[in-house]
């Protein structure tokens, strides 16, 4: 079982989670982070660090976020690994409360 980055991360991309990951399983795209499910050790350290509640254990994923299982796997295989915290995206505050942002996901 792995943790999954979901819709709330899109256009926010806070990286507080990256800083606490003991296995460096986060990957960075233009406006989203992904967790590699094969590398995630299910430690749960990342989940409480996310200021927009974008990270869930796979078995606790809300039904409308199920597509993000496949998206995390797909993008973690092509995007570069990220191991250090960076500034959130400039418009993160604006996008924090917006729902259903999947159409804004850029690869």
pLDDT digits (tens, 9 = 90+) for 22-72: 999 999 999 999 999 999 999 999 999 999 999 999 999 999 999 999 999
CA gap 12, 91 in Å, rounded: 7
For residue 25, which phi and psi values (nearest 5 degrees)?
Answer: -100, 15
Prediction pTM value: 0.96
Residue 11 belongs to some domain of the structure: yes
- Looking at the domain assignment, is residue 105 inside a domain? no
Q: Whole domain around residue 47: which residue ranges?
A: 3-84
CA 100 → CA 11, 64, 77, 96, distances in Å? 11, 9, 24, 11
Asked if the structure places residue 93 within a domain, the reply is: no
Paired residues of 28 in beta bridges: 33
Average pLDDT over residues 85-92: 96
pLDDT band at 1 (very low <50, low <70, confident <90, very high): confident
Q: Is residue 59 part of a domain?
A: yes
In a domain, 107, yes or no: no
* Torsion angle defined by CA atoms of residues 6, 84, 1 and 92, in that order, rounded to the nearest 10 degrees: -10
Is residue 100 situated within a structural domain?
no
Q: How many CB atoms lie within 10 A of CB 23?
A: 11
Does residue 104 sit within a domain? Answer: no
Backbone dihedral region of 100: left (phi > 0), alpha (psi from -120 to 50 degrees) or beta? left
Question: What is the average per-residue pLDDT within 82-86?
Answer: 97
CATH number for the domain that contains residue 26: 3.30.70.20
């Amino acid at each position: 079982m792995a943790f999954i980055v979901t819709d709330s991360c899109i256009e926010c991309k806070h990286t507080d989670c990256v800083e606490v990951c003991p296995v460096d399983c986060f990957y960075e795209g233009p406006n989203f982070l992904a967790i590699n499910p094969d590398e995630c050790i299910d430690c749960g350290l990342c989940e409480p660090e996310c200021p927009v509640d974008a990270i869930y254990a796979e078995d606790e994923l809300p039904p409308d976020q199920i597509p993000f299982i496949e998206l995390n796997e797909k993008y973690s295989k092509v995007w570069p690994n990220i191991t250090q915290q960076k500034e959130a995206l400039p418009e993160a505050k604006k996008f924090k409360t917006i729902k259903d942002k999947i159409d804004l996901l850029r690869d």
